[in-house]
Structure 1
Amino acid sequence: MKTKILLVDDEPDLEALFQQHFRRRIQANQYEFIYAHDGMQALAIIREQPDIDVVLSDINMPGMDGLTLLAKLLEVNPVARTVMVTAYDDMSNIRTAMNRGAFDFVCKPIDFGDLAITIEKTAEYVRQLRESMELRAIDEMKMRFFANITHEFRTPLSLIVAPVDKLLTANDLPTPYLHSLSIVRQNAQHMLQLINQLLDIAKLEAGAMTIVNKPGDLGGFVSQIVEVFRPSAEIKNIDLTYRADLLSSNYLFDADKWEKILYNLLSNAVKFTETGCVAINLTEIPDSLPAVGSAQSEALIRLTVRDTGIGIAADKRERIFNRFYQVDSARTRAYEGTGIGLALVKELTERLGGTITVESPPAGEIDTSGTCFNLILPVQVLVAPVDRSLVAPKRIILTPVPDSVVVPSPPQSDETPLILVVEDNHQLREFIIAELTPTYRVRSAANGEEGWDLVQQELPDVVISDVMMQEMDGYDLTKQIKSHPETDHIAVILLTAKSEHDDVIAGLRYGADDYIIKPFNLDEVHLRLSNLINRQQKLRDQYSRQLTQPDDSSLLDTVQNPFLRQVYTLIERHLDQSALTVEWMAEELSISRKTLYRKVHTLTHLAPNELIRQYRLRKAAQLLRAGHNASETAYMVGFETPSHFTSVFKEFYKKTPSEFALK
């Protein structure tokens, strides 16, 4: 990279001297020198050429001297750095130059070796400064885009929320529609909350977030926000408690920022706690009391939010307050998040002049899980009473969703395909179930562990599974299904928000049959389900044709399914035994009778005993064509009497064994 250097000196011989000493670097295009003989000329050149990196300037020059040039230089080019070139006895001017922003100085007579080192050091500093400014400019541009695009999101969201609110107030709205619209309203609110967090981050980044303190009842204000989360806690059987121990009920505080801090901390506490409790404590540190005759004084409030959730690993605690950082572990991967909330909490806390720390597990509870966030926040204590209605949470943070209405599904037979929906978001799970129920038999599970249990019990035709779930994620569930002979025939559709190419490949590598990205189109879900079920039906038809339309090939050579090949091999080895029972076969295959029935029925639409019978008859047809008579064939395929064999054979093929052999 070429360094552009401006030499400002009234000595005419210096130009030739610099050309001589730096000839190689000039020829190698490493240095480019530009010359000026006074400060005025130098200033004009700097204005015309903003890419100048280093200025080498004498101090004593006619017209505009070096010190005056130095004072004006930073206004014209804030990036270029100046090295003063002056005499030994000029220490007073050198001191003045350094105070005015000179980067370094070189004394005359010039030691060009020393000067070369100084130029390199200065140029490297300028390069780093330019890179830093470019990165800062890019960052500012990104933040402006961030703020602009999030503002743009608010308009379409408003056009979702407002019409939905209007519909929800209609008296004649059917209950199923009320439930669906409430889900729309709640999730639109959640999107709006995320957008507001992004806007807050942008404001903090720009230094545009101001403190707006208002008088109010702090304890009552916090209580209102806690109560908003009580329905969510009750759904999970979490004991939500709140205790306030304040020396006053009258405080001056920024309600908007307190609300945002509490919302994020309580939201995380409830989300990451599956059982136990969430406790919120608000106490005043009794270090200061109002002075006599004073209307207010500063006090410190300690806010603690303690839960019995999954906790935070020791090596992750320092980073949880970083923007967009998410703890990635087997226990946390299932919980959705953006990595914004705790970063916003910390920055808002510090903006209020407070501090935040985290303990996991909470202090004094070494043998337990959970997390405790401790905040110390300054407020103003008011002596005069205040109207408690002045400060209240600005937004309805959570909208309760009415219980879903179970719409009776049409009568369905055991032949109707069975779909298992595995999704940890209960609203989405209910929505998918309601959509599929009119067409399919549907079972559901809230996580991978429950899903795997149901897969083994029910042997569904298709599993639709989310990827990010607690207990067992969708990848592991798929791996379990595809690695067991009893379940490897079951089709798996991964339904997920993970849309990167690598995520899709990972799902397919585990054996998933299809992948649908959220947000999804219902027609696409139905179509992909239908395609998989049709494919399964074509395989059943193929297996059925292989049994009912015998040829000279062996089923062991043509069947594709490993489980069926195992079943056919077992029958083939014991074909001449009449007592081939379902119980015996299940024992030989090391599976239960129930699992054997479901597996065989799923693959062939036949009961196991019927599969054994048809396999015997197919083999009998091959033996008859090979020249064996009916009696020989009967005993070779496990019939106890030729007469019984003839009766069964005729019923199935509509011909006697003798007639069939003559074909």
Structure 2
Amino acid sequence: KIDKNQMHLHCQETPLKDFLHGIVSLYRFNAQERNITLELKEDESLSSDKGKLKVWIDRINFDKVISNLLSNAMKYTFDGGEITVIIGKDEKNATIRVEDTGIGLKEEKTDRLFERFYQGNNSSGLHIEGTGIGLNLCKAFVEMHGGKIKAYNRTDGIKGSCFEVSIPLGNSHLQPGEILEEEDKKEQEITKKKVQANRNFNILIVDDDSEIAQYIKTELSDWYRFERACNGKEGLKMLLTGKYDLVISDVMMPEMDGITMLKNIKSNSNISDIPVILLTSKSEVEHRLEGLRRGADAFLAKPFDMEELHILIDNLVDNVRRIRGKYSGAQGQKAKIEQIQVKGNNDALMERVMKYINTHLADPDLNVEKLTEEVGISRAQLHRKLKEIAGVSAGEFIRNLRLEQAARLIEEGQINITQVAYSVGFNNQTHFSTVFKKHYGMSPSEYAETKRNEK
């Protein structure tokens, strides 16, 4: 597109620090894995107006420039090193420097680094492969913005390289067609409809990196409502006690990782229908495989593209809408266990199953073996049928109905919690409290208190 003059800029005024903060945040995960210090700073030229420097850029294409420079810095910096992105300005230009403590540049003429397909000399012996396209593309995008890019070895006595981008302040250097002051009316209408349609969807971000969560919130808060949990344990509790339509979760987290949380989500009938997007690094193949086994709905590799995440969320949200429209009224029958109606070819089987369970719900000896004897099919067949119809195993099906009945009795408040446990087939009060908390995210007494407060 660039070669054929088919690449067109759509520039808008952009707070430079906020823009760079979002991109830098996406590299923190890999930096932390390699013990690399990654910082974003402002130099002395911005001491009088910290955080207020604005530039006119095509955000999508300028993102590619910074991402490429950070990618290269990560590639050529050893573990335990430092990468610093420094913002500055002079009378006419804003400047962005990406400094690292890597292997430095061996080229006598560093301009050659920006030639297409040129392979630098500094990667010899490091087994680092490149195409020679990235820096050439950076140069093209920077020049389209009326700016310049250069590379040199650091001059502060520290070994490493520096790539410096400068772009003119203001927008007088841009053509009228390159300035995007307001969106096209049609796009505005589409965006407005999306906001109205999706803002009622709650998304839980589970990530111990607050900057990643904040970046997602900042970029997509016009479309969705976001809340954050710091780890899988906290995220699971929020899912069990609140109402969420989708989960975006990191894999590597303290206390409870993303895979374990995913396993708990998909095995709990209260929240198993919530779509889960897992954020992984490209190298975490084993985590992807385990996530697939546990029922992850989508994966996104860090650093990820925000537009890709937005499309992914939209698709999963649309799926949720279709499913809810198709099965509306079929869920949420906790208070009507006796009146459960299951439609379809499995009516007869489910009627027998429900009749027996409702009759023997208080019997602590009610188990899968007795249920299979009553309905007249093998344990394997019953397991397969219930997986097909209800999405859980026969054992989980019995346990879930017991807990839902217990929740209804606690909410009614006519008998105490000990009596509730016995009435749904639990002889051991401690065991009842443990499985209840796992299912609802709070103990029976906390559940009772919550329902009293709601009333």
TM-score by length of 2: 0.39
TM-score by length of 1: 0.28
Rg bigger for which structure?
1
Q: Which structure's relative contact order is higher, taking Cα pairs within 8 Å and 6+ residues apart? A: 2
